Chains A and B, each alone.
Chain A
Amino acid sequence: MIKFDKFSLDNGLRVIVHQDSSTPIVAINIIYDVGSRDENPDKTGFAHLFEHLMFGGSVNIPKYDEPLQNVGGENNAFTNNDITNYYLTLPKQNIEIAFWLESDRMLDLAFSKKSLDVQRNVVSEEFRQNYLNQPYGDAWLMLKPLAYKVHPYRWPTIGKEISHIENAEMEDVRAFYKKYYNPNNAVLVVGGDVDLENIKHLAEKWFAPIPGGESFVRNLPKEPIQTKERKLKVERDVPTNVIHKAYHMSGRLDLDYYSSDLLSDILSNGDSSRLYQKLVKDQKLFIEINAFLTGDFDEGLFVIIGKIANGINVKVAEDAIINELEIICKEAIDEDELNKVKIKAESSLIFSEVNILNKTMNLAYFEILGDANLINLEIEKYKIISVDQIQKMANTIFREENCSTLYYLSKQE
């Protein structure tokens, strides 16, 4: 249970305060309600490139990082399909520096040409480092457009291709900032040994003068229901065959999300899980296998990725996965097995609240999803799932025509 206070400024900025006197640092998290799903299909990777530009100086402060480091702070940020999240930690006595820095880059950016030129290169190198110059690094670049044909989840956050990043223009940067980087499109969370009245004062002082932006309606195309199984086979210079199976599932706010999550835990969370015990340990068909949810806000994916043991036929390995999925579709699981994964879900939530930065991030994430208090309802939502619901969910998700399979194979020399 995370306690918090919440208030809004007149410009629409939502502010959440969580008090924790056990830590010497404060964490500040600002989440903007924009992600790669909001990009133009011809200019992908832009939300993430923009995140880099947020560090290129704001209207009154030439350098973001320096003053923060100078008071013992540190920061970082990440972008995903749905959100862009900025977070920083610093010793509690210097908290106002964070308000000064974050409010200035919400007020206006410096829009420096040099920063854009350099960050285009930096992000291109990030693309090469993580997606192109790694074995299997480009798997998601292929799996996403296989699973999605219409919805913007069909491209990854890094972008479809490097040229989209290389071609980003200053006018795109300005338009993006104007549309999305407004107080009414953001949530500010402050966590640590802080005083609520003082935070109210600081929020008013630094953020209230920022004008609210125009609100917009997100109108994303809905992914049509998949009616036929999809398969893609690629051969690359990699030593191990890897199979990826992606099934469409519900969005993050749907109650089906919780039964899907428990289903993925039954299959692969922990060394006692089904896929690990049967396919890795007993049958030795895989060296590693994982089932997980992408957890996207809109309809997401239930993904199974297995690294096939050397010498094992790909078809045999795939059939073994399908066999396990058929078992869970046909045979109701034990109440006992369900309880096990419920406790695991509870425990994983409690462990995620062990430090102040994670707690503030969690609160911000749930507030953007709809309400920060959702975090305190998570455990209950898992607890009420029944054996029948798990079986029903398995039958809804694990249908051949709902599946996209990527075979990432070792090229035969």
Chain B
Amino acid sequence: MDLTIDRKTQPDSRPIRSIDLMEPENLKLTNGFQVHLLNLGTQDLVKIELVCEAGLAYQSKTLISSFTNKMLAEGTKSFSAYEIAETFDRYGAYYSSNIDKDFASVALYCLTKYLDQVLPVFAEIICEPLFPENELQVLANKSKQEFIINLKKVKSLAQLYFPPLIFGNRHPYGQMTDVDDFNKVTHDDLRTFYQNFYLKSDSKLFISGKLDKKIIKKLNHTFSQFNIKLNANAIMPDFSFNANTEKYKQIKVKDALQSAIWVGKKLFNKFHPDFIGMQVLNTALGGYFGSRLMTNIREDKGFTYGIGSSIVSQKYDGYLAIQTEVGTKHTEATLTEIYKEIKILQTKLIGTEELELIKNFITGQLIRSMDGPFAVHEKLKAVILYNFDMQYYQRYIDEVSTISPETLNRLANEHLQKSSLAELIVGK
């Protein structure tokens, strides 16, 4: 055995310059549902998810979108909330409901061998929910009490106040929930929201896992039991409100040991020509463990357990957010360092070595985010819900791979001017 291997020199490696996103099979059910099928994986499992454009942006008052989403499984025409839960538990299935600013979804995860037993219940949740009063009261009380607990966390307070600070509270993405809102949601609110925004012609079913050949037949059979008509979504919220002109907010929390600091701005979404470039720039700033903010504020100064920044694309807008929680005595110094790092990106070209690392990190991250059928399912959703084609990720890699230090410098000057950034401090 060779005991004298060279441990100082890194073994050979190859960069990733191409990516294959598995093509889904796209078809329509007889009732009109668009279906995207992904047959992948080693375990006998299946995930079925319905995604509707029924996110938080579409509600006329707070909590309606999320309560509608959560209440779908709390009672349907033929099953009580208990019977639904009992069926899923009995067959080892998991049910989840999810909501973000744009989309609401419900997902069923189950062992392939039990799909026949649970699919009819899942389909009824989607097609014939009742939103019973009693269950609504349980949900409202529980959510309100959880909300009040969260008001004791600096991070949760920051999450609550940041969207209205950067979008303005009249923008569909800037709405803010208040403690008093929880008792104002009615059965009729949910019923109406469901009728307006669920089961529209743009609703989509994503299905992934080790799929049975008969899956489409099963879906058609199950969904044909319901009398659904898929109409176009007729109500669009108004996204034209301008961002808040206020750029600073402080919320004092007595006895806080750490301050939550959020710095950011309304930006743009995936359709903007600078979006991918900004992802690269953001990665350098705070998008990975070796980022400049993390290296400076955690690994050099030890002010925090973690700091990060992200650029989030929503369907009709987008934003940048730098987030951290730091010991209260470091609040001022952390802000100074954040702006210092941004200034450096604006005044000094990023070095070749660092840029190469970032490019490799981003492409690697994309590959790594495709581990397993349900992970690929998420990647596919991100493309289809934005009406991109399957080449999206390849173009993404191509653009990341070829971006220059000069372009990043231009982006830093155009989009990260200090005067455009809003600052939110929760704590001391």
Contact = CB atoms under 8 A, between A and B. Distances in A.
Contact of A118 (B89, B111, B302): B302
Nearest to A59: B7
B361 A70 contact: yes
B374 to A, nearest CB: 6
B11 interface: yes
Interface string A266-293: 0001111100010011001001100000
Given A65-B289, A69-B288, A97 B10 contact: yes
B114 to A, nearest CB: 8
Contact of B364 (A22, A60, A71, A208): A71
Contacts of B11: 96-97, 99-100
Interface in B344-365: 356-357, 360-361, 363-365
Interface stretch (A35-43, A140-148, A234-242, A398-406): A234-242
Contacts of A354: 41, 43, 45, 372-374
A344 B92 contact: yes
B145 A310 contact: yes
Interface residues of B, number: 78
Contacts of B89: 269-273, 340, 344
B142 A287 contact: yes
Interface in A67-109: 67, 69-74, 89-91, 93-94, 96-97, 99-100, 103-104, 107
A204 B1 CA distance: 8
Contacts of A355: 371-372, 374-375
Contacts of A273: 89
A133 B305 CA distance: 13
Nearest to A69: B361
A164 interface: no
Contacts of A89: 368, 371
A347 interface: yes
B389 interface: no
A348 interface: yes
Contacts of A227: none
B300 interface: yes
Contacts, number: 226
A353 B111 CA distance: 12
Contacts of B2: 205
Interface stretch (A119-127, A170-178, A180-188, A361-369): A119-127
A356 interface: yes
A273 to B, nearest CB: 7
A118 B12 contact: no
B160 to A, nearest CB: 15
Interface in B67-126: 81-82, 84-86, 88-94, 109-111
Nearest to B86: A272
A122 to B, nearest CB: 5
A343 B298 contact: no
A240 B151 CA distance: 12
Nearest to B299: A118
Interface string A1-31: 0000000000000000000101111010000
Interface of A: 20, 22-25, 27, 59-61, 65-67, 69-74, 89-91, 93-94, 96-97, 99-100, 103-104, 107, 117-126, 128-130, 132-135, 204-206, 208-209, 237-240, 269-273, 277, 280-281, 284, 287-288, 307, 309-310, 340, 343-344, 346-348, 350-351, 353-357
17 contacts: A61-B8, A69-B364, A70-B361, A72-B363, A72-B364, A74-B368, A132-B257, A209-B3, A271-B89, A287-B141, A287-B146, A340-B89, A344-B89, A347-B93, A350-B111, A354-B41, A355-B372
The 5 closest A-B pairs by CB, nearest first: A72-B364, A347-B92, A121-B302, A355-B372, A271-B85
